[in-house]
C-alpha cells in the first residue's frame, strides 16, 4: 500500500504525461490549432467575416479565399475562424455555469444527505429524464433567441450532469479520514466543505468539464443551426452550417470546412477529457 | 480522582427496522490527569465508538445515553454544536488510525497546522506558523521548515503520523484520544511514534486514552487499562496487574492469543533498525 509513487507520477512532467496517455496527446493535437486560430482570428484572417461582396459569391477555395466564399461573397476562412471563436466562447460559458452551479448543488446535496439529498436528486432525475434538446428548445424559445440566452439555458440544463458527479464525490469525500480528523479538530461544516471537500473534487470535475465542453459545443451549434442561438449575420459554426444547407450539393466547401472544425473541436475535447482522466485518476492509485 | 475524561454509564444504540443494535452498553471510563489509559478489545467491540462519543462525533443515527460524559470540566452531553466545536482540538484531540489518509492531500502541512491552531487561538498567521514549527520540532522532526512547506504525499507514513501528533498536541489539549495510532505503521516506526506520544503527553500535560488491540503496547505504555468486549467493559485496573493476572476469561484469551504466548515485549531501543525480536502483530 504505497500511494506515494503513484501520486508523484501524476505530478510528472508534460512529456511524461503525454507518453502515458495517447488520448491526451490526440486531444491536444486536435484542439491546439483550433484554439490558437480562434484566439488569433483577427490576426490570421485577412478578410472581414462580415464584408459582403456579391461579385464574389460562392467561389471555390483559392489562394485568396482558402475556404471559398458563401452566398454573399463573405470569406469562409474568416467566418469559420470567428465562428470557432464564438462557439468556443459559448461552450466555455455553458460549462462554466453548469460546472460551478452543479458543483455547489451536488456538494450541498451529498454533504447534507438525508431528505434534502433525496429531494435534490429526484429533481435532477426529472431533468435528466426529459430529452435535453426538448427542454433546450423550450427554454431558448421562451427566453428569445440570442447567444446569451442560449448560454444561460444550456448552462442551467447541464447543471444536473455535474451535480450528480459532485454529489457522488461529496458522499465519498465526507467519509475520508481527513474529514473526520478535521471534525475532531473543531472545524465547522462550512469550512470542511470549502477547504476539504471541494478542493479534492476539482480534478474529477475538470475531467467532466472537459468532456462537457464537447457536448456544449455540439448543443450550442445545434441550437444556432435551427436558429435559436446566434442570429445572422453573426459568424458561429452552427449558424454558418445552417446557411450552407441550400448549397450542400454544389458548393461542397461551404458545409465541409465549418463542419470539420466543429467535429475536430468536439472530438478534441472528448479525447482531452479521457486523457485527463487517465492522468488525474489512474486506476489502481491506492487511496 | 480528578479525571480529565470521565464517562459514566454510556450506552449507544443503533435503531434499525428489524433489530436494534446496542453497540456500547453501560460503559464507564475515567482517565486521570497525566495518565495514559488503555482501551483494549477486538475490532467491533465498541472502542472507537466510545471515544467518538466523548468528542460528540458519534454517527448521526446513533442514540447515545449517558449519565455523564465530561471532558476537561465540560459536560459534553449539554453542549451545543458551536460549543462542541470549540472544545474539539482545544480540550480533546484525536490522533487518527490512518496517517496515510488523515491529512488533506490538497493543503500543505503548514497550512493544516495553522488552521487547527487559529481555530482555537487568537493568533496572527505568523504567530500560528511559529507555533506550528514549534509543534513539529517537539515531535523530533528534523527539518520542520521543509515539512511545513510539504504536501502530505511527500511524507512517509511515520512522518505523517508525527505531523498528526504535532497537530493533536498543538493546542495542548487536556486529553488526547489515540485511536490505534500505530496500527498502520511498520514495527520499527511504531516504537518511535509511541515514544513521541509519551513524551508529548508529558510535555503538554495531556492525558491519553489509548485505543489498541495490542496488549504488548499496553504493557509498555499505559498506567491503567480497560478491556472491552461486545460493547461492555469486562475488566479494568492497573495495566500490569491486568496483564499479569487477568481475571476475566476474555482477557485471558486475549493474552493467550498473542503469538507463541510469550511475555509482553520489552521496549525497543530507539534508533535500532532491525525488526523487533519476539512476537509482533501484523499491522
Min Cα separation A169/chain B (Å) = 15
CA distance linking residue A144 with residue B143, whole number of Å? 63
The answer, yes or no, to whether residue B39 has pLDDT greater than 90, is yes
The pLDDT, as a whole number, for residue A12 is 63
Confidence class for position B30, pLDDT limits 50, 70, 90: very high
Min Cα separation B103/chain A (Å) = 5
Tens-place pLDDT, residues A68-92: 999 999 999 999 999 999 999 999 9
Confidence class for position A282, pLDDT limits 50, 70, 90: low
CATH 1.10.3720.10 fits A36-44+74-280, yes or no: yes
Query: Is B105 part of the contact surface with chain A (CB cutoff 8 Å)?
Result: yes
User: What value does the mean pLDDT of chain A take?
Assistant: 89
Report chain A residues whose CB lies below 8 A from the CB of B100. Answer: 1, 3
CA distance linking residue A157 with residue A135, whole number of Å? 8
pTM of the model: 0.82
Q: Give which of B72, B79, B92, B100 to mutate to test A binding, by max A Cβ within 10 Å.
A: B100
Measured in residues, chain A has a length of 287
Cα–Cα distances in Å, from A34 out to A83, B15, B181? Answer: 11, 59, 54
Closest chain A residue by Cα to residue B103: A178
Report chain A residues whose CB lies below 8 A from the CB of B174. Answer: none
Report chain A residues whose CB lies below 8 A from the CB of B104. Answer: 178, 182, 195-196, 199-200
Q: Which of A7, A184, A187 sits opposite B94 (nearest CB)?
A: A184
Residues 6 or more apart in contact with residue A102 via CB below 8 angstroms: A158, A159, A160, A161, A162, A163, A165, A166
Are B209 and B176 within 8 A, CB to CB? yes
Burial (0-12, 13-18, 19+ Cβ within 10 Å), B207: buried
The pLDDT, as a whole number, for residue B47 is 92
The pLDDT, as a whole number, for residue A136 is 87
User: What value does the mean pLDDT of chain B take?
Assistant: 88
**CA end-to-end span of chain A:** 9
Tens-place pLDDT, residues B74-116: 999 999 999 999 999 999 999 998 888 999 999 999 999 999 9
CA distance linking residue A239 with residue A50, whole number of Å? 14
The pLDDT, as a whole number, for residue B215 is 87
The answer, yes or no, to whether residue A284 has pLDDT greater than 70, is no
Burial (0-12, 13-18, 19+ Cβ within 10 Å), B255: middle
The pLDDT, as a whole number, for residue A6 is 43
Min Cα separation A194/chain B (Å) = 12
Query: Is B94 part of the contact surface with chain A (CB cutoff 8 Å)?
Result: yes
Confidence class for position A3, pLDDT limits 50, 70, 90: very low
Tens-place pLDDT, residues B153-181: 999 989 999 999 999 999 999 999 999 99
The pLDDT, as a whole number, for residue B97 is 86
The pLDDT, as a whole number, for residue B1 is 53
The pLDDT, as a whole number, for residue A1 is 38
Residue B119 to residue A185, Cβ atoms within 8 A: yes
Q: What is the mean pLDDT of residues A260-269?
A: 95
Instruction: State the fold for domain B3-261.
Output: Rossmann fold (3.40.50)
Question: Where are chain B's structural domains?
Answer: 3-261
Query: Is B176 part of the contact surface with chain A (CB cutoff 8 Å)?
Result: no
**Which ipTM did the prediction report?**
0.82
Which cell numbers hold the place of B195?
A: 515514544
The residue that leads in pLDDT, A120 or A20, is: A120
CA distance linking residue B133 with residue B114, whole number of Å? 10
Question: Where are chain A's structural domains?
Answer: 36-44+74-280
The pLDDT, as a whole number, for residue B3 is 87
The DSSP secondary structure of B201-233, one letter per residue, reads HHHTT-EEEEEES-HHHHHHH-SEEEEEETTEE
Closest chain B residue by Cα to residue A11: B153
Amino acid at each position: 500500500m504505497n500511494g506515494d509513487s503513484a501520486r508523484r507520477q501524476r505530478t510528472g512532467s508534460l512529456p511524461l504525461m503525454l507518453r502515458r496517455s495517447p488520448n491526451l496527446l490526440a486531444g491536444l493535437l486536435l484542439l491546439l490549432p483550433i484554439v490558437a486560430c480562434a484566439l488569433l482570428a483577427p490576426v490570421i484572417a485577412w478578410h472581414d467575416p462580415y464584408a459582403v461582396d456579391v461579385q464574389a459569391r460562392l467561389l471555390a477555395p483559392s489562394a485568396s479565399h482558402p475556404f471559398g466564399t458563401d452566398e454573399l461573397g463573405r470569406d469562409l476562412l474568416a467566418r469559420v475562424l470567428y465562428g470557432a471563436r464564438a462557439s468556443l466562447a459559448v461552450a466555455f460559458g455553458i460549462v462554466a455555469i453548469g460546472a460551478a452551479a452543479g458543483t455547489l448543488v451536488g456538494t450541498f446535496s451529498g454533504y447534507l444527505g438525508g431528505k434534502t439529498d433525496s429531494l435534490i436528486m429526484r429533481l435532477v432525475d426529472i431533468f435528466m429524464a426529459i430529452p435535453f434538446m426538448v427542454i433546450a428548445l423550450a427554454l431558448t424559445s421562451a427566453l428569445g433567441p440570442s447567444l446569451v440566452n442560449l448560454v444561460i439555458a444550456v448552462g442551467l440544463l447541464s447543471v444536473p450532469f455535474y451535480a450528480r458527479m459532485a454529489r457522488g464525490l461529496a458522499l465519498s469525500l465526507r467519509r475520508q479520514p481527513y474529514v473526520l480528523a478535521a471534525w475532531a479538530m473543531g472545524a465547522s461544516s462550512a469550512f470542511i466543505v470549502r477547504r476539504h471537500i471541494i478542493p479534492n473534487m476539482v480534478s474529477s470535475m475538470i475531467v467532466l468539464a472537459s468532456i462537457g465542453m464537447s457536448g456544449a459545443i455540439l448543443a450550442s451549434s445545434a441550437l444556432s443551426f435551427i436558429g435559436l442561438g446566434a442570429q445572422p449575420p453573426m459568424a458561429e459554426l452552427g449558424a454558418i452550417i445552417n446557411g450552407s444547407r441550400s448549397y450542400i450539393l454544389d458548393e461542397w466547401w461551404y458545409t465541409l470546412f465549418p463542419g470539420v472544425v466543429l467535429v475536430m473541436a468536439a472530438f478534441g475535447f472528448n479525447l482531452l477529457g479521457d486523457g485527463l482522466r487517465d492522468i488525474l485518476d489512474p486506476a489502481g492509485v491506492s487511496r | 480522582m480528578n479525571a480529565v475524561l470521565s464517562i459514566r454509564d454510556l450506552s449507544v444504540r443503533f435503531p434499525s427496522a428489524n433489530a436494534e443494535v446496542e453497540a456500547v452498553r453501560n460503559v464507564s471510563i475515567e482517565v486521570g490527569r497525566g495518565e495514559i489509559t488503555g482501551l483494549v478489545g477486538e475490532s467491533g467491540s465498541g472502542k472507537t465508538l466510545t471515544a467518538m462519543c466523548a468528542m460528540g462525533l458519534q454517527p448521526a443515527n446513533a442514540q447515545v445515553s449517558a449519565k455523564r460524559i465530561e471532558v476537561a470540566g465540560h459536560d459534553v452531553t449539554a453542549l451545543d454544536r458551536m460549543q462542541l466545536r470549540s472544545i474539539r482540538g482545544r480540550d480533546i484531540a484525536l490522533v487518527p488510525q490512518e496517517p496515510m489518509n488523515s491529512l488533506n492531500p490538497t493543503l500543505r502541512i503548514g497550512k493544516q497546522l495553522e488552521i487547527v491552531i487559529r481555530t482555537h487561538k487568537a493568533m496572527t498567521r505568523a504567530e500560528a506558523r511559529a507555533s506550528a514549527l514549534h509543534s513539529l520540532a517537539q515531535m523530533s522532526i528534523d527539518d520542520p521548515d521543509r515539512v511545513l512547506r510539504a504536501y502530505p504525499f511527500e511524507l512517509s507514513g511515520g512522518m505523517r503520523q508525527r505531523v498528526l501528533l504535532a497537530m493533536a498536541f498543538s493546542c495542548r489539549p487536556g486529553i488526547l484520544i489515540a485511536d490505534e495510532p500505530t496500527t498502520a505503521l511498520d514495527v520499527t516506526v511504531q516504537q518511535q511514534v509511541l515514544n513521541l506520544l509519551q513524551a508529548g503527553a508529558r510535555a503538554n500535560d495531556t492525558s491519553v486514552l489509548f485505543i489498541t488491540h495490542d496488549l504488548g503496547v499496553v504493557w509498555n505504555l499505559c498506567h491503567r487499562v480497560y478491556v472491552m468486549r461486545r460493547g461492555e467493559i469486562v475488566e479494568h485496573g492497573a495495566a500490569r496487574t491486568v496483564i499479569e493476572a487477568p481475571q476475566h476469561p476474555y482477557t485471558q484469551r486475549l493474552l493467550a492469543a498473542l503469538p507463541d504466548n510469550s511475555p509482553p515485549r520489552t521496549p525497543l531501543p530507539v534508533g535500532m533498525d532491525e525488526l523487533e525480536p519476539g512476537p509482533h502483530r501484523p499491522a
